[in-house]
């Protein structure tokens, strides 16, 4: 029988949300993760096999190295005696690459998850649509990618030209989900949003240094792997420095275009246009909406060119002020007012979300004996406040802490706590009292009457 967490995981998979086991493990106590992991792996392997995926023995062991080997005995790795053929799955014949399922479709072609049967590894294979006749134009993106070597840019493995079939571009397969889906799930914290955009900005800066401008940065073109690492993908619209022209040219996804892209002014296109698009993506991650919206294309382009973005904190005042400043700087209408480089933006984002604790120095403060009784009273009160809150959230006493069942061994009166638990509460109170003394406060009991 599946647990509630397992049911939610299966429902998310059935809904096409590509849930990550790692995300679900964070919802349970560390002591329970091994058993929960076994259940989620069984569910995921079952669903993957139904989609035609091959589950490789040792695959999950590599992915979850921190767990004991005994876990794998609970997961069955049986494979069909004969894997279903591409024809049986309704997929095209890709030669040595056995297609498993469709990953996505774009303007130029369809991308398949496939098994490279020679090297026994999963890859992504992009096949052009039937109407694409210009092979050289189709090969533009893989040639751009082949010139780039960055940990946040998906590498090209090969280009295969079968004698009687379409040209195939083979790249690394990124197991995970797109940032677009992650935004819709509303699972992003402000810190995680800043971290993702900083890493994508570093990838964009690397490409800019090679004279390549992406021109179509958007959530659908950012993939997040199972470790949370982002990849900038789909360089199909990328422009090389030597390709810049003086004529009008509108290219990219309208909602994420820079003002100069919206005007079709290719003379001004450089890395700062990608920075504007990064600002749009960051804005959407922070507020769950794009800064410029309209169902009418002409009106949308007009707003991108002339309308200032609404400050993110006016939508959600929990957004850190510095994060809002970075976002709005990237969204500056005038190209010269934006970050000079994407690396500068990445540095600001890292600095913004870097927390450096600066506690009050209490090393020279001694707590007088007269405050010992007060310390004990406040420690008991702190425990009671904590317990009251837990009980209000329907927690109950249990021999062990279990976040799923909502049980906790410390839901007892203060006097019944183990001495080490009492000491934990005391230390917290003592630190606060010492900080007050260090700041010059006097702590004394008022006289009666």
Pairing label, strands 156-160, 121-128 = unpaired
Residue range 97-172 in CATH 3.30.200.20 = yes
pLDDT at residue 90, as a whole number? 74
The answer to whether residue 216 is catalytic is yes
Catalytic residue, candidates 53, 118, 158, 216: 216
pLDDT at residue 84, as a whole number? 66
Residue 39: pLDDT band with limits 50, 70, 90:
confident
State which CATH number among 2.30.30.140, 3.40.720.10, 1.10.490.160, 3.30.70.3270 fits the domain covering 369-438: 1.10.490.160
Mean pLDDT of the chain: 85
Residue 251 has pLDDT above 60, yes or no: no
pLDDT greater at residue 427 or residue 52: 427
Sign of dihedral through CA atoms 170, 174, 177, 178? negative
- Residue 431 has a CB neighbour count (10 Å cut-off) of 15
Residue 248 has pLDDT above 50, yes or no: no
pLDDT at residue 106, as a whole number? 72
Report residue 49 as tokens: 């096999």
Give 98-145 as a DSSP string: EEEEEEEE-SSEEEEEEEETTTTEEEEEEEE-TT---HHHHTHHHHHH
Residue 258 has pLDDT above 90, yes or no: yes
- Token pair 């096999």: residue: 49
Residue 240 phi, psi (nearest 5) = -90, 150
- Around 79, how many Cα atoms within 13 Å sit in the side-chain half-sphere? 10
Rounded alpha-carbon distances, angstroms, from residue 294 to 80, 101, 190, 311, 313: 50, 34, 26, 18, 21
pLDDT at residue 397, as a whole number? 93
pLDDT at residue 436, as a whole number? 94
When mean pLDDT is compared across 284-288, 375-379, 403-407, the lowest value belongs to 403-407
Residue 246 has pLDDT above 70, yes or no: no
Q: Which residues pair with 240 in a beta bridge?
A: 212
Residue 355 has pLDDT above 70, yes or no: yes
pLDDT at residue 247, as a whole number? 42
Q: Name the residue ranges covered by the structural domains of the chain.
A: 4-74, 97-172, 176-352, 369-438
Residue 338 has pLDDT above 60, yes or no: yes
Q: Average pLDDT in the 23-35 region?
A: 83
| Alpha carbons 389 and 385: distance in angstroms, whole number | 6
> What dotted CATH number matches 176-352?
1.10.510.10
Residue 80: pLDDT band with limits 50, 70, 90:
very low
Contact 138, 167 (CB under 8 A): yes
pLDDT at residue 272, as a whole number? 95
Q: How many helices (H) and strands (E) does the chain have?
A: 15, 12
Residue 444: pLDDT band with limits 50, 70, 90:
confident
Residue 4 phi, psi (nearest 5) = -60, -40
Residue 149 phi, psi (nearest 5) = -140, 90
Q: Is the pTM of this model over 0.85?
A: no
pLDDT at residue 79, as a whole number? 46
The percent of residues above 70 in pLDDT, for the chain, comes to 86
pLDDT at residue 68, as a whole number? 53
């Amino acid at each position: 029988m599946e647990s509630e967490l397992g049911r939610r995981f299966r429902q998310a998979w059935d809904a096409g949300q590509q849930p990550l086991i790692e995300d679900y493990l964070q919802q349970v106590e560390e002591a329970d993760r091994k058993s929960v992991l076994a259940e989620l792996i069984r569910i995921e392997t079952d669903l993957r096999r139904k989609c035609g995926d091959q589950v490789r023995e040792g695959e999950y062991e590599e992915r979850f190295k921190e767990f004991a080997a005994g876990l794998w005995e609970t997961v069955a790795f049986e494979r069909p005696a004969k894997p279903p053929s591409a024809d049986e799955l309704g997929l095209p014949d890709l030669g040595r690459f056995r297609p498993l399922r469709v990953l996505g479709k774009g303007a130029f072609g369809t991308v398949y998850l496939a098994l490279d049967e020679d090297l026994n590894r999963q890859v992504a294979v992009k096949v052009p649509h039937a109407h694409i006749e210009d092979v050289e134009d189709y090969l533009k993106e893989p040639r751009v990618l082949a010139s780039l070597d960055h940990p946040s840019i998906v590498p090209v493995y090969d280009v295969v030209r079968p004698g009687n079939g379409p040209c195939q571009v083979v790249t690394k397969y990124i197991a995970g989900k797109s940032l677009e889906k992650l935004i819709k799930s509303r699972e992003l914290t402000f810190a995680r949003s800043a971290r993702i955009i900083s890493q994508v900005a570093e990838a964009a800066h690397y490409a800019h240094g090679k004279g390549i401008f992406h021109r179509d940065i958007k959530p659908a073109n950012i993939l997040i792997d199972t470790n949370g690492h982002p990849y900038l993908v789909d360089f199909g619209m990328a422009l090389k420095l030597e390709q810049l022209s003086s004529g009008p040219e509108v290219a990219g996804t309208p909602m994420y275009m820079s003002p100069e892209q919206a005007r079709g002014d290719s003379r001004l296109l450089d890395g700062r246009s990608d920075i504007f698009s990064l600002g749009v993506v960051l804005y959407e991650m922070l507020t769950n909406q794009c800064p410029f919206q309209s169902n009418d294309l002409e009106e949308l382009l007009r707003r991108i060119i002339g309308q200032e973005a609404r400050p993110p904190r006016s939508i959600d005042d929990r957004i850190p002020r510095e994060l809002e400043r970075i976002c709005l700087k990237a969204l500056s209408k005038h190209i010269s007012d934006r970050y000079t480089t994407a690396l500068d933006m990445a540095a600001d984002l890292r600095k913004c979300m870097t927390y450096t604790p600066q506690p009050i120095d209490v090393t020279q403060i001694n707590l007088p004996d007269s405050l010992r009784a007060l310390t004990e009273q406040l420690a008991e009160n702190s425990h009671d406040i904590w317990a009251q809150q837990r009980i209000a959230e329907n927690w109950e006493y249990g021999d062990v802490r279990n976040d799923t069942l909502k049980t906790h061994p410390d839901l007892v009166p203060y006097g019944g706590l183990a001495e080490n638990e009492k000491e934990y509460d005391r230390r917290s109170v003592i630190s606060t009292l010492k900080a007050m003394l260090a700041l010059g406060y006097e702590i004394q009991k008022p006289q009666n009457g």
